[in-house]
Structure 1
Amino acid sequence: MRSVLHTSDSRGTADLGWLYSRHTFSFSNYHNPKRMNFGLLRVLNDDTVSEGKGFGTHPHQDMEIVSIPLDGDLKHEDSMGNETVIKSGDIQIMSAGTGIQHSEYNYNPNKSVKFLQIWVFPNKNGVTPRYDQITLDVADRHNKLQQILSPNPDDEGVWIHQNAWFHMTKMDKGQKLSHRLHKPNNNGIYIFILNGNSTVNGQSLKERDGLGLWEIQSIDVEADTKTEILLIEVPMN
């Protein structure tokens, strides 16, 4: 087993007044040559956007972009004609492919919106851009793993152009679970603690810590407190 630990306080920071963001990997003005990616996971941004503010229209190309709202509502518009609001419990995916433009704004007039922005390199470039958004029952992740993303359109969650699987769980203190990687010979898994404290394969993790593991078959998770966790399995090359 090989591993890399990214503590919460080691992440990059952007504070634009209306946007406060923590970058697990190099992004925008934060550049750390030792923190460029975890396998094909390129971006893991932990964003807080003030009321009425947001990201104006901007382009993307050849990237799988996943948004996971954590608190509040996010307004989305794009060049494909989609105009939606995503909220906690929703999962949004954009396959940028040959090119897409979109904007994201805080839809709430009186509170901040918090969401994760995640980029994964696709397994092929030049695909037709697409957008999808689903609402999941968060009760289905209580003390068990809920799949929120996979490579398969017929599976639970959204799908992307990559052999990647995302899961989320909300665990009570003292609960344990195990998870076997779908592609252990090629993939690694990145564990991101959203809330609380957990122990993963013997490593103690606190809120917003990240742990990348590869050259492993499975992981074991124990909730040291009430905790919420995101698991991101991606190819390592």
Structure 2
Amino acid sequence: MITIRPSDQRGHIIFDWLDTKHTFSFGSYYDPRYTGFGNLLVINEDKIAPGKGFGTHGHQDMEIVTYVIEGELEHKDSIGNGETISRGEVQRMSAGTGIRHSEFNHSAQSEVHLLQIWILPNQKDLEPGYEQKIFSEEEKRGKLRLLVSPESKDSSLKIHQNVNIWSSILEKDETINHSLADNDYGWIQLVKGELEVNNHVIKAGDGVAIKEEDSLTIKGNQKDSEFLLFHFMN
């Protein structure tokens, strides 16, 4: 079963420094129909104004993945990490027993555009942890590149949940296939462009909930159609 979560139906909140769209209920946005999808709790598409950002705040018992679409995000946390995350880089932070961090756009001219993703861990009270890695566009073009996995397979980042997160960039009429085992479920988040997923057309910002599907056929309808595929394994 394929169910589309249209981009223009997401929660949309604009502050003077932040333009944010919520796929699932988050903060002041609440929709009882969209409170997460299995272990996937949050996909926020954030655009942070130059010189602005999130002040220091805390998290606990959550796997947080940040995918930078454009610009650079400065990260600092309470376990000693201070990094800049650029286009093509992925960050995985395990909040575990508790972590505090800040996220800041240090550019004076350009906004930073990113996806922030929250996934429930498979156990509580983990030791807080952090990883960051760049994945080139060449690795994603025309194929699925594994970004995050529970076993750090293929040099991916490790996550404490039974999920693989893939990324791909497809050209127009380029097609890839992906198989799912019984009781697996998935989600596709379209970053840019337009796709067909099992003959369903989706546009930039749309999400696709996937249940009871043996396989996916994903076709690019526009040049440089970029997406994330979440595959939760039971």
| TM bucket, shorter chain | over 0.9
- Asked if 1:180 is matched to 2:171, the reply is no
Question: What does 1:70-85 correspond to in 2, within 5 Å?
Answer: 70-85=69-84
Contact 1:40 1:235 in 2 (8 A): no
Q: Which residue of 1 aligns with 2:230?
A: 232
Normalising to structure 2: TM-score of the pair? 0.96
The aligned runs of 1:128-143 (5 Å cut-off) are 128-143=127-142
> CA separation in 2, counterparts of 1:3 and 1:169?
19
The aligned amino acid for 2:16 is G
Distance (Å, rounded) in 2 between the aligned partners of 1:170 and 1:77: 30
Question: Which amino acid in structure 2 is aligned with residue 95 of structure 1?
Answer: S
Among the aligned pairs, what percent are the same residue? 39
Deviation of residue 72 (structure 1)? 0.3
Residue 135 of structure 1, CA deviation: 1.2
| Residues 1:235 and 1:10: Cα distance change in structure 2 (over 3 Å) | farther
Q: Which amino acid aligns with 2:199?
A: G
Tell me the secondary structure at the aligned position of residue 104 of structure 2.
strand
The AA in structure 1 aligned to 2:228 is L
Does residue 196 of structure 1 match 2:197?
Answer: no
TM-score, normalization by structure 1? 0.95
User: Tell me, what secondary structure is at the counterpart of 1:9?
Assistant: helix
Q: In structure 1, how many angstroms separate the alpha carbons of the residues matched to 2:103 and 2:182?
A: 37
Q: Which runs of 5+ in 2 are unaligned?
A: none
Aligned to 2:116, the other structure's residue is in SS state strand
Distance in 1 of aligned mates of 2:194 and 2:152? 33
Q: How many angstroms does 1:61 deviate by?
A: 0.3
Q: Distance in 2 between matches of 1:71 and 1:225?
A: 19
Query: RMSD in angstroms over aligned alpha carbons?
Result: 1.2
| C-alpha displacement of 1:229 | 1.3
8 A Cα contact 1:73 1:113, kept in partner: yes
State the partner residue of 1:117: 116
Q: Note if contact 2:73-2:112 (Cα within 8 Å) is conserved in structure 1.
A: yes
Note the alpha carbon deviations across 1:181-201, whole angstroms, 9 max, x for none.
3xx233211111111111101
